[in-house]
Chains A and B, each alone.
Chain A
Amino acid sequence: MTDQTPEVPVNRLSIAASPHVREGENVERIMWTVSVTLVPVAAASLFLFGWYAGVLVAVSVLSCVFFEALWQKLAGKKITVSDGSAVITGLLLAFVLPPNVPVFVVVVGAAASIIIAKQIFGGLGYNIWNPALVGRAFVQIAYPASVTPSAWPIVTGQGWHRILQDIRHAAPVGGNPQAFDAVTVATPLSNEALSTFAPDAAGSVHAMYPSLKALFLGTVPGCIGETSALLIIIGGLYLMYKGYINWKVPAVYLGTVFLFAFVFPSWKVPGAGAFSGLPQYAVGLDAPGRLFFPLYQVLAGGVVLGAVYMATDMVTAPMTSRGQVIFALGCGLITAVIRILGHGFPEGCCYSILLMNTATPIIDRYTRPTKYGAVKK
């Protein structure tokens, strides 16, 4: 017991509403954690596609941060680029663009992502559509030849020394990236690749291209950050462990694509062009082929990246687990329909998520939890 009255500086006592303790989670930590899990994917893109891919990732991130800061400065708002959300958008935008896209296309995409998709709506938390995907959709329409190139580069199996060699000998930034010596081939979802699914007279699939292992590791042509399912899944598992994403979203999304492709295995007829009739169904596929096609559909293209990192975006996806499952189901269906039944685009991941983003408010409305005491009175 003390005899003296302890001094409490009464005028310095702070008043605030309860609660007076916090769990300690914050937006910055969430955003930077997501960004860090994307770093291995970015690093792998250098290995897979060469140093120019790294330039594009850097340009995309810096452009997104720049446009965010610029907009907030001009609008007289607090500059919040340190929250890390623009960095995620920059990484993801680069990841869904081809590794030989011109630099200015990335800058335009970044402007569309940050200004049109995000800041006009009020910034982080208020955007309706995933900013990176809006950026991608914008440049796909504005620069179709650059975003859907006829040839895709890939550095095949020669490792880091090849990257260093490229850096030494390659054309300067802004020059023709294809000048450095990469193999240019068709992407796994192109009609050329898919046509190799046509079973022969004996009913077996041959000339499968590329292998599931290559698709899983990412040593296939494709957009900068979409090819390595392995690295994307590792990042996703960590985010699930942290509780930042719901495992059901990638599971349901990829599961839906798998099931759809299993039920409707089909290949495109080479040279038939768009709108030339329904695709042919591989009725004659043998059992391994029946399983191979849906696995191929899951691993090829951008759907793993989309399912793990974009359909799980907190801001633009529903809030309840039930809503997220419906959202993921919708993404899977739309992706599969565009890819397998459609003729126009080889890939449907980007538009599937943007369309489901649009449906998020209505999904949220119909998947509200049943409140305590909602029973009869």
Chain B
Amino acid sequence: MHPQEYKEGTEGLATRDLPAPEILVIPFQQHIGAPANPVVKAGDRVAKGALLGEPAGFISAAVHSSVSGEVVAVERRPLALGRSGLAAVIRNDREERWADGANVEADTSNLDSKSIRARVRAAGIVGMGGAAFPTDVKLSPPENKPIDTLIVNGAECEPFLTADHRLMLEDPRAIVLGARLAARAAGAKRVVFAVEANKPDAFEVLKDAAAGAENARAVLLPTRYPQGAEKQLIQAVTGREVPSGGLPMDAGVLVQNVATCAAVHYAVAFNRPLVERILTVAGPCAASPGNFRVRVGTPYADILKVVGLSRIPTRIIMGGPMMGIAQKGVDIPVTKGTSGLLLFDEVPADAWRACIRCGSCVRACPVSIVPSELSVLLEAERFADADARDLFDCIECGCCVFVCPSNRPIVNWIKVGKAEITARRARERKAAT
């Protein structure tokens, strides 16, 4: 599938530093898994890179302050996923004072996989492509599932987004070094840098940066959506399929986004926690669209001040237009997983009609399930039947809705269906114990 790309407005512009705002809102849950446990309270003074919350369990991630300043409050704030969550509100003292030991170059030559993982965990690294899964967990495959290949994901297949593209052009060395560390940690023997054909410049740069490294190569993949989705990327690069219900490690593969790799490099080689990221601000309402290096915790309003509005947006999307999440306000902060902020004033109509069985969604589906059938079952709230027809194989890429002539909200129904089935299973487990 080839949605219009709209990348030309930002892909040629160098990344700009967005000034750190006066007040930052740093959520304790920016990742998949348990929210971090706060270790600060209102009134505490914190340095840049200081720990605000520590991981609460194996699948969790540390959270750090992205500026030096004072903790004004630890309270619930509206967040990007639609619900509110606990966050540290920090007043920036503009001193940019790093915490002790943070942002100091460290020797990486003799690190074993365990210490690499420890540094990655301490730095609070999570997947920066959007899913925000704790990276140290992905780097710790169980012994019975060895990983032979690390795929570094530079596909960036979502329309509008060019943040990864700019990073590949501007800091390829960090990506390559970070990938090497990640491969060492996971025990992967080879590294493949995967770039979509619409970014030939990024491909050349990464190829040169990877040259000389053993068992590393760059591949140029056809431009198509969703090329950057983990399962599709694994298939395109290795020819393997992740078994239904399984994880990439079941196919012997680890996938890391390019920005995550760069963050791993800075975490391990410089003891630098993940406190900033590059994101694309674009869309028809952005007066000066571009890519910005933004502190984690920066409210959208502070970004809009810099970018400016050429028109009044009626929808603000966190992420790309295919999988991103519509935002309810501009007081919501940027997190580690925020790859883009899109300002739209034209959005698809809500009205939908019956499925006419045209089969467009079946042809468009990258995981080859039958979205039309799921949509009819889920519309009728036949959750168990939908579960039996590959509900959980859906990767929610949005291709089916994109092509649907009846404008059916298939992905929405699928999300609801998955939540319902998951809740039922949890109830059943509870009843069984």
Interface residues of A (CB under 8 A from B): 1-2, 4-10, 12-23, 25-27, 29-30, 80, 83, 122-126, 244, 314-315, 317, 319-320, 368-377
Contacts and interface: CB of A to CB of B under 8 A. Distances in A.
Nearest 8 A/B pairs, CB to CB: A19-B398, A125-B354, A17-B412, A319-B359, A372-B367, A373-B244, A377-B243, A6-B309
27 contacts: A7-B309, A8-B316, A8-B330, A13-B314, A13-B326, A13-B328, A13-B329, A16-B347, A16-B350, A17-B411, A18-B323, A20-B342, A20-B348, A21-B348, A22-B348, A25-B360, A25-B405, A26-B405, A27-B405, A29-B405, A124-B354, A125-B353, A369-B362, A371-B369, A371-B393, A372-B369, A377-B250
A314 to B, nearest CB: 4
Contact of A373 (B4, B367, B401, B415): B367
Interface stretch (B108-116, B257-265, B299-307): B299-307
A15 B401 contact: no
Given A2-B308, A21-B348, A27-B353, A372 B393 contact: yes
Nearest to A28: B405
Contacts of B322: 18-21
Given A22-B401, A372-B367, A13 B313 contact: yes
Given A25-B360, A320-B362, A372-B235, A10 B409 contact: no
B231 A319 contact: no
Given A14-B315, A373-B393, A374-B241, 10 more contacts: A5-B305, A10-B330, A14-B314, A18-B319, A21-B321, A23-B3, A315-B356, A372-B241, A372-B369, A373-B243
B326 A14 contact: yes
Interface of B: 3-4, 82, 159, 231, 235, 241-246, 250, 287, 301, 304-306, 308-309, 312-317, 319, 321-330, 342, 344, 347-348, 350, 353-360, 362, 365-370, 372, 390, 393, 396, 398, 401-407, 409, 411-412, 415
Nearest to A22: B348
B405 A30 contact: yes
Nearest to A314: B358
Contacts, number: 187
A15 B332 CA distance: 14
Contacts of B323: 18-19
B254 to A, nearest CB: 17
Contact of B347 (A8, A14, A244, A315): A14
A125 B313 contact: no
* Listed residue (B355, B403, B411) with the most chain A CB atoms within 10 angstroms of its CB: B355
Contacts of B362: 319-320, 369
Nearest to B361: A319
A125 B356 contact: yes
A260 B398 CA distance: 44
Contacts of B342: 20
Contact of B306 (A1, A30, A83, A371): A1
A314 B359 contact: yes
Given A13-B327, A29-B405, A8 B309 contact: yes
A25 B356 CA distance: 13
B308 A6 contact: yes
A319 B250 contact: no
A160 B367 CA distance: 55
A160 B179 CA distance: 76
A169 to B, nearest CB: 45
Contacts of B407: 22, 26
A377 B245 contact: yes
Contacts of A7: 309, 312
